[in-house]
Amino acid sequence: MINDSPQLGTFLQAQASRTGAHLAFDTHYDAQNWQLSWWRGATLHRLDFQPLEHGRLSVTHYQDHFRFLPRLLRWAHDAIPFFPYMARIEWSNEAIEHFPLQEEKIKTIVSSGVDA
């Protein structure tokens, strides 16, 4: 059973190790979110786990599609100030859950994204 955001982070770290995905924390503007990411071809996939008020958790799947040189363009955006983000981003809401969470539910969400 996952009772709060720190426990979720520990569980997601184990899932990142298991699947080979990258795990990042607090990826946008003090949101205190957890984000698993992995590359599949020219597309960067990101599963964003965002704790919300009233013990809720939102899970969003982002897909960043690059036309060419995906890893170089992603690196350039991260390393060079004002370098534009040259991806087309699609997203879909995967789930809205409430703490405490069943570990199996989170494992299923991660597996459906990473292993697809």
pLDDT digits (tens, 9 = 90+) for 9-59: 999 999 999 999 999 998 877 778 999 999 999 999 999 999 998 989 999
Quick: pLDDT tens for 74-113. 999 999 999 999 999 999 999 899 999 999 999 998 988 7
Q: Report which of residues 28 and 8 the model is more confident about.
A: 8
DSSP state of 3: -
Which of 61, 31, 29, 32 minimizes the C-alpha distance to 46? Answer: 61
As given in the structure block, the two tokens for residue 39 are: 């590359």
- Model's pTM, two decimal places? 0.90
